[in-house]
Amino acid sequence: RALETLESVLVQPPAVRDPPLAWFEPRLARRLEGVGLTTLGKLVDWINMKGYGWWQPIPKVGKIAAGHLTAWLTANSEPLGIRISARVDTPNRALVAVLKERARPMADIAP
């Protein structure tokens, strides 16, 4: 019972203003902070802005670590109040193909 009481008092959900070091392994957190991603909110914004391959400009962060990060962020999206874009999982070439497939001419105007 004591552990349950301590957990409810000490455990806090992640917040967008938290630094990566508060939630991620120190080496990974330093790599993120090294490119200016100093809060979870900035990390989410970066991921959503860059889309698929968001991790590539970050030294020594690969696809597997990126997948773990986005999975963690998605699992904690409610307490963070964020949403990870679906673009993160789809290569840009595939997105272009889908958009072209769905695109319709705005008008059938001919000379």
DSSP string for the chain: -HHHHHHHHH-----TTS-GGGTS-HHHHHHHHHTT--SHHHHHHHHHHH-TTTTTTSTT--HHHHHHHHHHHHHTHHHHT----GGGGS-HHHHHHHHHHH---S-----
pLDDT above 80 (res 10): no
Encode pLDDT of 16-51 as tens digits.
999 999 999 999 999 999 999 999 999 999 999 999
pTM for this model (two decimals): 0.74
